Amino acid sequence: MKPSLVKGTRDFGPEQMSKRLFIFDTIRATFKRFGFLPLETPAMENLSTLTGKYGDEGDQLLFKILNSGDFAAGLTADGADQPPLHSKALLPRIAEKGLRYDLTVPFARYVVMNRHALALPFKRYQMQPVWRADRPQKGRYREFYQCDADVVGTDSLLCEAEIVLMVHEVMRNLGIEQFALKVNNRKILTGIAEMIGMPGQEGALAVAIDKLDKIGQDKVLDELRGRGFSEESLTALMPIFSVEGSTDSVLARLKEWLASSETAQRGIAELQETLQLVSQYGLDQPKTELDVTLARGLSYYTGAIFEVKALGVSIGSISGGGRYDNLTSAFGTSERLSGVGISFGVDRIYDVMEELSLFPADAGQGTAVLLVPFDADGRAVALPLLNQLRQADTSAEMYPDLAKVKKMLDYANAKRIPLVVLIGSEEVQTGQLTVKNMLTGVQEKLTADELIAFVTRS
Amino acid sequence: MKPSLVKGTRDFGPEQMSKRLFIFDTIRATFKRFGFLPLETPAMENLSTLTGKYGDEGDQLLFKILNSGDFAAGLTADGADQPPLHSKALLPRIAEKGLRYDLTVPFARYVVMNRHALALPFKRYQMQPVWRADRPQKGRYREFYQCDADVVGTDSLLCEAEIVLMVHEVMRNLGIEQFALKVNNRKILTGIAEMIGMPGQEGALAVAIDKLDKIGQDKVLDELRGRGFSEESLTALMPIFSVEGSTDSVLARLKEWLASSETAQRGIAELQETLQLVSQYGLDQPKTELDVTLARGLSYYTGAIFEVKALGVSIGSISGGGRYDNLTSAFGTSERLSGVGISFGVDRIYDVMEELSLFPADAGQGTAVLLVPFDADGRAVALPLLNQLRQADTSAEMYPDLAKVKKMLDYANAKRIPLVVLIGSEEVQTGQLTVKNMLTGVQEKLTADELIAFVTRS
């Protein structure tokens, strides 16, 4: 009985974990500095909370949890479950809970349940795993983390500007200096749909246009034909593929092209105001790029749309988000709570940082100092030193067995511990400890106090 | 359709989360300083990994995940699932995955699967939620966090000493100064079972004795009678209820009482060596107390047993652990991997700290500074200041709408933001910002630079 992992799931061993923690800590600290507050919701939600929120495909991809106890009791009480047994008929009778599929629906549920205790605008961040019963494949997992920050309860475009700033801060703090932050506004897409004579079809337009990067212009047009877009409408659409250049010049061209669409003009004005606000922060080099073809396929965005890609690697978007009109509408609330949010994908950020060697040298660093006493007398010297090193916030450990020196040094190498302190009888007598730098191989003699001063300085 | 939480699960809103993060961060930092490395395993494990590891009751309490897709397909192919449908017969055909029940079994699976890549001794910590289909009641949840640190691959009692030290450090860093760290050794219980003429019955003895605190001596004896302990054996057992006093004197009495049990003598010697090692670290006031009745009911402990309780509150143990003989034996490995571990219970620690008001004032602190501009000109002053405050690692935000001042101050109060910076036309002209301390109500005039100097100093 050889144990194995559930397909599509992963263990994260010490080295990966240390790097992942660097990413989590960086994102969390940045969220916090921007005034977002932490929230955690349970892994399990009632299926009534989850079902119907992610479309039919999403419902299929929910992991369902079998009811506890004698879940099949009463199954034969009526005829509904007589053989042949159908999954659809059986499901609601044996499972009423499911695993979190994203962080947005649990957030909306939380807001609905705690609405009266919340001060609006409410800014929350949430960093937790989600589960999807997708077919596992390279880069697609059944368990993965999402890191979301949202502000709800205000229409202010300052929130959009804040998100643009926060993306810059997260990237800078992670060390990803080369990135593109594409922005668009859903209202511009709506205006384009109007302009080309397909009003109300911005959803279909968005889904197709969203694939431009992957499948190219011709196939996007084919897909639109398949969705009932006429040749006239596609001809009218052509300018969308050629509006490039500086944000100002693109905005100017869009204003002209979409002059007759009030919605588009509003989208353009929102984008201009957002970028104007961003420019006031005194940011060194804003990485914002207007991309009219950015759609992110999601029908629930109603205003700003964001997408972040790292440059120099062929890894998809590492962050994305946008403004939505009504967070809690799926729960039948009458109050309209508009919001805007951003989500960071830890797995992709990890891949980018690994490929570009951006992790700081100490991100995977565990123990900094290994004490290696040769006998009980050496231990008597090592133990108080161990305590002092830790009090000085240094990760330190002592090899627990009295083994051969080579074995202890092998252990240090395997754990990539940079400093090893050898404590033999000579060291015990003189108080001069032998400190070996495992990277350079250089040894020197230091007293305990000098060692502590050294490690806390470096 | 009013949404609700799954019974036995909880949301953690901003204030609770901030305090919980203080606990998590403190424990994590301490684990790290002691040379433990992080590990995370998936929430879902194969049921073949989980089943049979926690006893029959544990198997019942596993949350099982329904197979994806058409899980009932083929259910009628043979007769095993004809009505009446039995949960036991049905289960293996519709569910092959379950949710993590603790962190030990996934850790053991990880070690078995990665044995050849691991440098022994292997020190890992793991802080993740676990799920149990228990009947929810006060203080018992279906989802809760465990924070475990274990070292496997060595018998050295230094590891026991390290755990004692680490408990002291975690408690000190949390601010829980008043606590008792009870220690015992399973071999002493084994020796007692031998001594009283019930060799091999230390398991039953441990389970009963473990309840001493809760049900008292008489009921413990009744339970033992029920488990087949004779009156003679119970009479012989009596000294266990009266061995109190200093650790040294208890050890001396035990040595004498259990003179004929080699196993007990080994347990006593192990305890003495562990305490001797602990004494060498130079710890101020060790909180270790030998308690011969400490058993923690778990059959898999083979050596040291630990339990931590906070003093001055009637909340159960907040931490516990011990040495086990073979971590990976449940997976049929031939290599014997002895280990010792400790587990911290975040929920109980939270309750202790809340009841004793031990959370530092800034543990629940979110945003430190709220900027309140009165108009677009005020915003132009506020935005670069916002950026500068964050660069100085201060959590700062700006009220996103141009609302009434009262509304903005209410927002600051609701979020417990201690400093509000008012930026009206006068402030824009003079550069002297009005800084209001929301706790004292005191207002003063500061320039942007003075404000930054002030918040980074405080």
Write out pLDDT tens, residues A158-182: 999 999 999 999 999 999 999 999 9
Nearest CB to A39: which of B14, B32, B40? B14
Task: List the single residue in A with minimal CA-CA distance to B155.
Answer: A401
Return d(Cα A290, Cα A184) in angstroms, integer: 6
Distance from the A365 Cα atom to the nearest Cα atom in chain B, whole angstroms: 9
Q: Cβ contacts (< 8 Å) between A303 and chain B: which residues?
A: none
Asked if A289 and A180 touch (Cβ cutoff 8 Å), the reply is yes
What pLDDT is attached to residue A187? 94
Residues of B in contact with A3 (CB under 8 A): 46, 48-49, 109, 112-113, 331
Q: Which two tokens stand for residue A172?
A: 């800078």
**Residue A2, φ and ψ in degrees, nearest 5:** -85, 120
Chain A hits for B367, Cβ within 8 Å:
35
CA distance A230 to chain B (A): 38
Cβ distance of B34 and A397 shorter than 8 Å: yes
Mutation pick from A167, A383, A399 vs chain B, by most beta carbons of B within 10 Å, is A383
Cβ within 8 Å, pair B114-A11: yes
Using an 8 Å CB-CB cutoff, list chain B residues near A113: 3-5, 11
Which residue in B has a C-alpha nearest to residue A378's C-alpha?
B280
Contact residues, chain B, for A114 at CB < 8 Å = 11, 13
Q: Which residues of B touch A169 (CB under 8 A)?
A: 390
- Within B34-79, residue ranges assigned H as helices are 47-50, 55-61
Task: Specify the pairing of strand B122-131 against strand B37-38.
Answer: parallel
Sort out which chain A residues have CB atoms less than 8 A from B120's CB and list them: 411
Q: Give the closest of B84, B331, B393 to A76, CB-based.
A: B84
CA-based R_g, chain B, Å: 28
Instruction: For residue A12, give how far its alpha carbon lies from the nearest alpha carbon of chain B (Å).
Output: 5
In 3D, which of A9, A75, A95 has the Cα closest to residue B95?
A95
Report residue A275 as tokens.
């970028």
Of A99, A159, A281, which is closest to B400 when you measure between CB atoms?
A: A159
Provide the 10 A C-beta neighbour count for residue B395: 22
Helices (H), A130-259: 158-174, 186-195, 202-209, 212-226, 231-237, 247-257
Asked if A163 contacts A274 with a C-beta cutoff of 8 angstroms, the reply is: no
A327: Cα separation from own chain's centroid: 20
Cα–Cα distance list, B22 to A4, A122, B173 (Å): 34, 22, 10
* Closest chain B residue by Cα to residue A152: B400
Q: Which residues contact B273 (CB under 8 A, 6 or more apart)?
A: B157
Closest partner CB to A1 (pick from B331, B393, B396): B331
CB B141 within 8 A of CB B9: yes
CA dist A206 → A197, A306, B431 (Å): 15, 14, 47
- Residues across chain A: 458
Averaged pLDDT, A63-74: 88
Residues A350-372 have a mean pLDDT of 91
Contact B395 A35 (CB under 8 A): yes
Yes or no, beta carbons of A143 and B44 under 8 Å apart: yes
Nearest chain A CA: its distance from B303 CA (Å): 17
- What is the ipTM for the molecules in this complex? 0.92
Q: A434: how many CB neighbours lie within 10 A of its CB?
A: 16
Radius of gyration of chain A from Cα atoms? Answer: 28
Q: Which residues pair with A435 in a beta bridge?
A: A421, A444
A320 Cα to chain B: minimum distance (Å): 21
> CA nearest B343: which of B189, B136, B167, B186?
B167
Whether residue A44 and residue B366 make contact (CB cut-off 8 A), yes or no, is no
Residues A129 and A144 sit within 8 Å (Cβ to Cβ): yes
CA distances from B305 to A266, A364, B30, B103, B359 (A): 68, 32, 21, 18, 29
Chain B residue with Cα closest to A328: B3
Taking the CA of residue A237 as centre, how many other CA atoms within 13 Å lie in the half-sphere pointing to its CB? Answer: 27
A-B Cβ pairs (cutoff 8 Å, strict): 314
Handedness of CA B424, B428, B430, B433 (dihedral sign): positive
The pLDDT of residue B84 = 57
Interface contact A387-B415, CB threshold 8 A: no
Q: One digit per residue, pLDDT tens: chain B, 458 residues?
A: 789 999 999 999 999 999 999 999 999 999 999 999 999 999 999 999 999 988 888 899 999 999 998 888 877 644 555 555 778 888 888 999 999 999 999 999 999 999 999 989 999 999 999 999 999 888 789 999 999 999 999 999 999 999 999 999 999 999 999 999 999 999 999 999 999 999 988 888 888 888 888 899 999 999 999 999 999 999 999 988 888 888 888 999 999 999 999 999 999 999 999 999 999 998 888 899 999 888 876 667 899 999 999 999 999 899 999 999 888 888 988 889 999 999 999 999 999 999 999 999 888 778 999 999 999 999 999 999 999 999 999 999 999 998 898 999 999 999 999 999 999 999 999 999 999 999 999 999 999 999 999 998 76
What pLDDT sits at residue B212? 87
Domains, chain A:
366-457 (3.40.50.800)
For a pLDDT cut of 70, what percent of chain A falls above it?
A: 97
Terminus-to-terminus CA distance in chain A, angstroms? 48
A63 contacts B66? CB cut-off 8 A: yes
Strand arrangement, sheet containing B369-373: B396-398, B369-373, B419-423, B433-437, B443-446
**How far apart (Å, rounded) are the C-alpha atoms in residues A306 and B220?**
65
What is the nearest CA distance from B356 to chain A, expressed in angstroms?
23
Instruction: Decide if A44 and B97 are in contact by the 8 Å CB cutoff.
Output: no
Whether A422 shows a pLDDT value over 50: the answer reads yes
Model pLDDT, residue B77: 43
B32 and A70 within 8 Å at the Cβ level: the answer is no
For B251, what's the count of Cα atoms within 13 Å in the CB-facing half-sphere? Answer: 20
CA distance B307 to chain A (A): 22
B230 and B272 in contact (C-beta within 8 Å)? no
8 Å CB contact between A81 and A75 = yes
Which pLDDT value is given to residue A212?
A: 87
Chain position carrying tokens 């990135």: A179
Q: Which of A17, A86, A113 sits opposite B3 (nearest CB)?
A: A113
Which run of H or of E encompasses A151?
A: strand A143-152
Tell me the shortest Cα–Cα distance from B389 to chain A, in angstroms.
Answer: 9
Q: Which residues of A are annotated as a binding site for L-histidine?
A: 102-104, 132, 146, 150, 296, 300-301
Contact A440, A420 (CB under 8 A): no
Containing A373, the helix (H) or strand (E) segment is strand A369-373
Contact A237, A220 (CB under 8 A): no
B356, amino acid identity: L
CB B47 within 8 A of CB B64: yes
Q: Does residue A28 surpass a pLDDT of 60? A: yes
Burial class (CB in 10 A: 0-12, 13-18, 19+), B239: middle
Per-residue pLDDT at A82 exceeds 60: no
Segment (H or E) for A279: helix A262-279
In this prediction, residue B81 carries a pLDDT of: 52
* CA A373 and chain centroid, separation: 44
- Asked if B373 and A277 count as a contact pair (C-beta separation under 8 A), the reply is no
Q: What whole-number distance in Å separates Cα of residue A121 and Cα of residue A101?
A: 25
Task: Please state, in angstroms and rounded to a whole number, the distance separating the CA atoms of residues B397 and B371.
Answer: 6
Which residues of chain A are within 8 Å of residue B119 when distances are taken between CB atoms? 410-411, 414-415
CB atoms within 10 A of CB B124: 23
Selected residue with higher pLDDT from A418 and A365: A418
- Give yes or no for residue A425 having a pLDDT over 90: yes
Do A303 and A322 meet the contact criterion of CB atoms below 8 Å apart?
yes
Which residues in A288-347 belong to E strands, given as ranges? 288-290, 301-310, 319-324, 339-345
**Hey, which residues does B180 pair with through a beta bridge?**
B309
Known binding residues of A are 102-104, 132, 146, 150, 296, 300-301
Angle of the A14-33 helix axis to the A158-174 helix axis, nearest 10? 150
Residue of A nearest to B57 (CA): A69
Contact between B119 and A384 using a beta-carbon 8 Å cutoff = no
Q: What's the Cα-to-Cα distance from A455 to each of A175, A366, A425, A435, B28, rounded to whole Å?
A: 25, 14, 23, 11, 21
Q: Which residue in the block uniquely carries the two structure tokens 């699967």?
A: B113
Averaged pLDDT of chain A: 92
Could you tell me what percentage of chain A is helix, strand and coil, using 3-state DSSP and rounding each to the nearest 5?
Answer: 45, 20, 35
Give A379-383 contacts, CB < 8 A, sequence gap 24+: A379/B158, A379/B277, A379/B280, A380/A428, A380/B280, A381/A423, A381/A427, A381/A428, A381/A433, A381/A448, A382/A421, A382/A423, A383/B161, A383/B277, A383/B280, A383/B281, A383/B282
pLDDT of residue A76: 62
Tell which of A68, A86, A145, A150 to mutate to test the B interface (max B CBs under 10 Å): A68
The strand order across the sheet containing A95-99 reads: A44-46, A95-99, A64-66, B64-66, B95-99, B44-46
A7 three-class SS: coil
Element housing B290 (H / E): strand B288-290
Contact A289, A246 (CB under 8 A): no
